[in-house]
């Protein structure tokens, strides 16, 4: 694990980059005697982003929210009316998705319509697969021949038919991102050269309905042109493969991959939804084929803020440190992704009488956590107007892969609270 890159010459965000309702709520939470370390989520912000993407897509496209990005029940419920379904990777995520869909739809749909949930993951266990088959999900994205056999055996035992797509790791892909899961050696999916053999056996297995293909090749792509080209490529590849191997193609799942610009001051630009809409509209899937997108980070990154109280400010050999009640045990993203994730400082005037109140003003500060390791560093060398012990440090764009991605148990400190605005 490397430290985040230096933020120099950046300055911390002004406090008003945090919306006023969020500032008020965080200061209310900070009024407790217990030092604050919490996530605050705005469900409407996530819903607004989902509506924007859904409205931009053609009728043949479906948006399934990737629950892994933020599994807070309030966020999942807020998204449910504005997405077509969910993507899950565990039984707990499946239960969250099913509960949100029941609340949205008022109970199971009439008839034999599949539940609008797709499932992925390279090591689905028999209990996970059994839960997915019993739930009647729209697609189990099968990662291997063994997994297809397991699904088949479960479906036959349950007296049902399971809908599956074959996850493919293609030889070449026309898109890149911060994480690559295709076009290279990977634990994800079936290598493209092995597809004919695996698909041939899948089509012979009892209890399976092979509906298409899943290709999730890269994450955090900010280029709308490249993402649209990738969508087109997935559709064309799936149509050709289906025709070659006798698959009744109904599903093409292109995964997630739409990125979030964490470092706009450094030149990153937000994903251009309008441009993606324009280019996606030119794609023509075969009649009756649904193209599924699985956005996660894109829908929820800007709906969350991680805030932690500064427990101390220290100067050591020319470096100022703001020490938080929190750290990578609560918010590991900046360190694990090696990115500059900027902050805002919310002043807190309340302070115990008689205690010294150390601070730093007009200087570069490194923001660290409470863990006994130098790796617990969230931001380095950011210029602050002022930060004092007792103030709040707030990380915007913390709605995705924040609480879910952290090292909760290391040292045994209390986990970060989670609140819905």
Which one is catalytic: 372, 374, 409, 412?
372
Helix (H) or strand (E) holding 192: none
303 among known catalytic residues: no
Rounded to whole angstroms, how far apart are CA atoms 45 and 37? 21
**Count, residues in the chain:** 421
Rounded to whole angstroms, how far apart are CA atoms 376 and 363? 21
Which residues are within 8 A (CB) of 206 and not within 5 positions of it... i.e. 6 or more apart? 152, 155, 156
Phi-psi region at 11: left, alpha or beta (left = phi > 0; alpha = psi -120 to 50) = beta
Coil/strand/helix, residue 209: strand
What backbone torsions phi and psi does residue 393 show, to the nearest 5 degrees? -100, 130
Burial environment of residue 204 by CB neighbours within 10 A (0 to 12, 13 to 18, 19 or more): exposed
Rounded to whole angstroms, how far apart are CA atoms 420 and 325? 20
CB count in 10 Å sphere of residue 127: 10
Q: What Rg, from alpha-carbon coordinates, does the chain have?
A: 23
The sign of the torsion formed by the CA atoms of 294, 246, 126, 100 equals positive
Rounded to whole angstroms, how far apart are CA atoms 177 and 173? 11
Phi-psi region at 261: left, alpha or beta (left = phi > 0; alpha = psi -120 to 50) = beta
Characterize the bridge pairing of strands 319-324 and 304-316.
Answer: antiparallel
- Listed residue (344, 234, 222) closest to 289, CA to CA: 234
- Listed residue (234, 215, 219, 121) closest to 168, CA to CA: 215
Active-site residue numbers?
A: 372
């Amino acid at each position: 694990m490397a430290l985040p890159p230096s933020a120099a010459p950046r300055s911390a965000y002004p406090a008003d980059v945090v919306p006023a309702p969020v500032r008020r709520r965080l200061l209310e939470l900070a009024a407790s005697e217990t030092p604050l370390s919490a996530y605050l989520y705005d469900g409407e912000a996530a819903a607004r982003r989902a509506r924007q993407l859904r409205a931009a897509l053609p009728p043949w496209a479906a948006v399934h929210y990737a629950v892994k990005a933020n599994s807070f029940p309030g966020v999942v419920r807020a998204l449910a009316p504005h997405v077509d379904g969910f993507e899950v990777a565990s039984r707990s995520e499946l239960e969250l998705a099913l509960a949100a869909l029941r609340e949205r739809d008022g109970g199971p749909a009439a008839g034999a319509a599949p539940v609008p949930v797709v499932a992925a993951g390279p090591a689905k266990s028999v209990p996970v697969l059994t839960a997915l088959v019993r739930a009647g999900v729209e697609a189990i994205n099968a990662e291997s021949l063994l997994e297809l056999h397991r699904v088949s055996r479960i479906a036959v035992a349950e007296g049902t038919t399971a809908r599956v797509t074959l996850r493919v790791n293609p030889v070449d892909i026309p898109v890149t991102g911060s994480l690559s899961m295709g076009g290279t050696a990977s634990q994800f999916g079936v290598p493209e050269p092995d597809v004919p053999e695996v698909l041939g056996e899948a089509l012979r297995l009892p209890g399976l309905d092979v509906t298409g293909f899943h290709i999730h090749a890269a994450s955090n792509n900010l280029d709308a042109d490249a993402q649209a080209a990738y969508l087109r490529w997935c559709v064309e590849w799936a149509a050709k493969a289906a025709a070659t191997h006798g698959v009744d193609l109904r599903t093409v799942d292109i995964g997630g991959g739409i990125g979030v610009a964490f470092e706009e001051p450094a030149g990153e630009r937000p994903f251009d939804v309008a441009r993606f809409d324009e280019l996606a509209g030119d794609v023509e899937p075969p009649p009756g084929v649904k193209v599924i997108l699985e956005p996660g980070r894109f829908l929820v990154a800007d709906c969350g803020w991680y805030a932690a109280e500064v427990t101390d400010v220290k100067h050591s050999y020319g470096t100022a440190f703001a020490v938080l009640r929190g750290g990578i045990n609560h918010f590991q993203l900046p360190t694990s992704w090696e990115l500059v994730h900027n902050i805002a400082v919310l002043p807190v005037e309340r302070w115990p009488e008689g205690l010294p109140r150390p601070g730093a003003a007009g200087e570069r500060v490194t923001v660290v956590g409470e863990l006994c390791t130098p790796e617990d560093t969230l931001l380095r060398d950011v210029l602050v107007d002022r930060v004092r012990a007792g103030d709040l440090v707030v990380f915007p764009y913390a709605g995705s892969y924040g609480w879910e991605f952290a090292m909760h148990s290391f040292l045994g400190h209390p986990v970060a609270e989670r609140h819905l605005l």
